[in-house]
Structure 1
Amino acid sequence: MRNWLVSAAVVALLGAGVVEAQPYGGRLGGPDFPAATPDQRVDYGNDPMQRLDFWRAKNQFAAAPLVVFVHGGGWSRGSKDNATGRWKAVHYAEQGYAFASIDYRLVPGNTVEDEAQDVAQALKALLDRAQALGIDKRRVVLMGHSAGAHLVALVGTDERYLRAAGLSFADLAGVIPIDGAGYDVPVQMADAGAFMKSTYQQAFGTNLERERQLSPTLHAEAPNAPRFLLLHVQRPDGIRQAQEFAAALRKGGTAVEVQQFTGNGLMAHMEINRRLGDPGYAATPVVDAWLKRVFAR
C-alpha cells in the first residue's frame, strides 16, 4: 500500500442555531487510561452531530487558554467519544488549559466543506461562552488528527470558514495538525492506492478545482493562522505532505515547526492520537513546550 489515512472499516472498528451549554455526565476512560468526565456539553448547531464536550482547566483562577480537538476517521467515521484519546482531556486540563473535543457532520450525508464550517462554528460557540466557561479568547489552538488534521489545517489557511462563523485568523493562536496526509488533495488522490481510493473520492469527488480548494497547502500563502506545529510518524505520504505543507507555510511567512516520531503504518498513526497527553509518550512534551511558547505570547 503506497498510501492510507484511516480506512472507514478500521475506524468503524475503533471506535446552525446555538443552544445553551448543558451539564454532561459522559465519561471517557478505561483500565489503562485516566478517566475524564466532561464538565459540559455544548450543542453548536441543530444537527445531532453538531456537539462538543468541554473540560475546564484545573486549578486555574484566571481565564484559561483553549485547545480544541477535531477527530479523524476518513471524513466519514469517528466521533469525539472514541477518537479523542483518553489522555488529552486530563492532561491539558492539568496543564491549565481548557479543552474541547468536537463532533461534526460526516460525509456522504454532508460535505468536507460542511465539516470545516462545523469546526469554525464549534469554535464560535465556545468563544461566545468564553466568560462563562473560563476561556481566554486571545489564546486558542486548534488540534486535529488524521482527517481532523486536514480540517484544522484547512480552517487555519482558508479564512472563509472562520469568516462565515463571524471569526478570523486573529481568533487563533496556532494550529496542530497530527499525522495528516491530505494537505495537498490532488497529489494525495493521485498517489492513493486502491486501499484508500474510495475514501478520498467519497470525501473530495473528482473535480480538480474542488480538490484544490480543499487543499491547505494550496492556501498557505499569507494570511494564515499565526503558527503551526505539524506532527507525523514515519509513513512516506505523511512525511511528504507535511514537508510540502510546511514549505508552503514558510514561503507565505507563517511560523511552522515539524516534528517526526517513530513508527510507520496504521498502529503508529493510531498511537500518536491515542497516547498524546500521556507523559510517557514522546510527542507529549513536544506539544507541551510548543503550547507554552504560543500561549505565553
Structure 2
Amino acid sequence: MTKFTAALAALVAGALAATPILAQQRAGRLSENCREELIALCYEVDEADRAAFRACLRERRAEIPDECKAELRARIEARGRQGSLETRPEGLRPTAKPTRSVLYGKDARQQVDVYEPEGAVDPLPLVLFVHGGGWRMGNHKLVQVKPAHLNAQGYYFASTGYRLVPDVSVAEQAGDIGAALRALRGQAGAIGFDADRIVLMGHSAGAHLAALVATDPKYADEAFHAIRGVVLLDGAGYDVKAQMASAAPEFWQVYYNAFTADEAVQEAFSPVTHVGGKDAPNWLALYVADREASSAQSEALAERLRAGGVEAEAVAVEGTDHGRMNREIGTEAGGVQTREVDAFLARVLG
C-alpha cells in the first residue's frame, strides 16, 4: 500500500464548511467538487461505519478523478499526517434510493437513475437533473434530498450522468443529455411518468448543459418538445465568451479546458447564442445573490429569453453559496430556493 493510499481514507470525507473553491485549495483543503465526488463514490455506505467507508474508498480509488487525486496529494503533504475520518456534510447523503436505472450508451457514465414516488398514480411529470463539476468532474449519484422532496411533491425525479471533458467535448456532453432524455421517454410507459411533461434542472456546469439543450433543439431532437421548463442553479456559463473575457485566471482555466480559446467555439456552445429560435417555454434561473458571475449571466440570459418570447425569471437567493444552492433544495436551510423551485414546477407541470 502506497503512502497516498494509506492516507487517502483519513482525508476523503472532508466535512468542511462550504467556502469558495479557490480559497479551499489555497488553504490545502479539498474543493467542493472533489469532496462531493468522493462522497458520491461510496454514498450507499452508512456514514457511521467509518471502517466500511474507508474500505470502500480504497476499493474504488481507481475511480477518483485525476484532479481530485492531485488535491488529495496536496492536502496530505500540507497536513503531513493522517487525520480522522470525518462524517459527511449535512444534506449530502441521499435520503432515497433509485428504483431503476436507464442506460443510454456504453460508457459507465451514460446512465440515468430514476426515483419513483411511492404509490404514484400514473402518469406524473418528471424532473431530470444534470449535475455540475466544471465539465470535468461530478457524479449523478449525488442528489442529496432532492428525490425525496420532489417525489413528495408529485414528480418523478431522475438524475443523469454524462461523459466528461477531456474524454469528450462539450457538444458530446450536451448530446449525452439529449440521449438520456430520449432514452427516458422511450421507457416512459414502463416507468410510469408522462413523457411529454419534463423539466430539466441543472447546477453549475450542469446548468449550462441544461440551458444549451433547452435552447438548441438538435441535442434532444424529437424529445425537445417534451421540455416544459428549465431550472438553472447558479450557472455562470450561459455566455461563455463573455465569462472568459472577465474571469480570474484560475476560473478562466476551467472554461478553457472545456471550451478552448477559440471564440467561435465559445459562442457555439453558449446558450445565449441559440436563444430566439426554438426555446423551451418556461425558465427559472436562480443565482447566489453576491456571486457576480452567476448574477450577471443569469439576468442576461433571462432578459434575452424574454425578448425571444418565452417566460423567464432570474431570482437572487440570499444567504447561500454555490454548493448550498444545490444541495439544500428540499431542506429547511434551503427554504428560499426550495420555495422558488416548488412554485415554478407547480406552475409549469401542474
Q: Which of the five TM-score ranges fits, normalised by the shorter chain?
A: 0.7 to 0.9
| Residues 73-120 of structure 1: per-residue CA shift (max 9 Å, x gap) | 0000011123x2x11011111111100011100000111111111111
* RCO higher in structure (CA 8 A, sep ≥6): 1
Whether contact under 8 Å (1:242, 1:258) holds in the other structure is yes
Secondary structure of residue in 1 paired with 2:286? strand
Structure number having the greater helix percentage: 2
Q: Shift of the alpha carbon at 1:27?
A: 4.1
Out of 340, 343, 350, the position equivalent to 1:286 is 340
| Residues 195-228 of structure 1: per-residue CA shift (max 9 Å, x gap) | 2121111100111111101111121113200110
Out of 53, 57, 67, the position equivalent to 2:117 is 57
Secondary structure of residue in 1 paired with 2:199? strand
Residue 11 in 1 paired to residue 69 in 2?
no
Secondary structure of residue in 1 paired with 2:128? strand
Residue 42 in 1 paired to residue 102 in 2?
yes
Output the CA distance in 2 between the equivalents of 1:29 and 1:231.
Answer: 32
Whether contact under 8 Å (1:63, 1:134) holds in the other structure is yes
User: Who is 1:271 aligned against?
Assistant: 324
Q: Shift of the alpha carbon at 1:36?
A: 1.0
Q: Residues 174-185 of structure 1 correspond to what in structure 2 (within 5 A)?
A: 174-185=229-240
Output the CA distance in 1 between the equivalents of 2:119 and 2:209.
Answer: 31
Aligned letter for 1:52?
A: V
Residue 223 in 1 paired to residue 223 in 2?
no
Aligned residues: CA RMSD: 2.2
Whether contact under 8 Å (2:32, 2:323) holds in the other structure is no
Per the alignment, do residues 229 and 28 of structure 1 end up closer, same or farther by CA in structure 2, a change over 3 Å counting? farther
Q: Residues 100-115 of structure 1 correspond to what in structure 2 (within 5 A)?
A: 100-115=158-173
Output the CA distance in 2 between the equivalents of 1:60 and 1:81.
Answer: 22
Whether contact under 8 Å (1:59, 1:96) holds in the other structure is no
Output the CA distance in 2 between the equivalents of 1:77 and 1:280.
Answer: 26
Aligned letter for 2:120?
A: Q
Output the CA distance in 2 between the equivalents of 1:119 and 1:29.
Answer: 31
Output the CA distance in 2 between the equivalents of 1:65 and 1:156.
Answer: 17
Residue 133 in 1 paired to residue 191 in 2?
yes
Output the CA distance in 2 between the equivalents of 1:38 and 1:290.
Answer: 24
Whether contact under 8 Å (1:230, 1:257) holds in the other structure is yes
Output the CA distance in 2 between the equivalents of 1:59 and 1:191.
Answer: 50
User: Who is 1:262 aligned against?
Assistant: 318
Secondary structure of residue in 1 paired with 2:278? coil
Output the CA distance in 2 between the equivalents of 1:121 and 1:167.
Answer: 9
Q: Shift of the alpha carbon at 1:10?
A: 4.0
Output the CA distance in 1 between the equivalents of 2:270 and 2:97.
Answer: 35
Q: Shift of the alpha carbon at 1:162?
A: 1.2
Out of 286, 309, 319, the position equivalent to 1:253 is 309
TM-score, scaled relative to structure 1: 0.87
Output the CA distance in 2 between the equivalents of 1:263 and 1:194.
Answer: 27
Output the CA distance in 2 between the equivalents of 1:272 and 1:135.
Answer: 27
Secondary structure of residue in 2 paired with 1:115? helix
Output the CA distance in 2 between the equivalents of 1:246 and 1:71.
Answer: 21
Q: Shift of the alpha carbon at 1:146?
A: 0.1
Whether contact under 8 Å (2:241, 2:267) holds in the other structure is yes
Aligned letter for 1:44?
A: Y
Aligned letter for 2:313?
A: E
Q: Shift of the alpha carbon at 1:57?
A: 2.0
Whether contact under 8 Å (2:204, 2:234) holds in the other structure is yes
% identity of equivalent residues: 39
Whether contact under 8 Å (1:29, 1:35) holds in the other structure is no
Output the CA distance in 2 between the equivalents of 1:285 and 1:243.
Answer: 19
Whether contact under 8 Å (2:33, 2:137) holds in the other structure is yes
Structure number having the greater strand percentage: 1
Aligned letter for 1:72?
A: G
Output the CA distance in 2 between the equivalents of 1:38 and 1:225.
Answer: 27
Q: Residues 122-201 of structure 1 correspond to what in structure 2 (within 5 A)?
A: 122-163=180-221, 166-168=222-224, 170-201=225-256
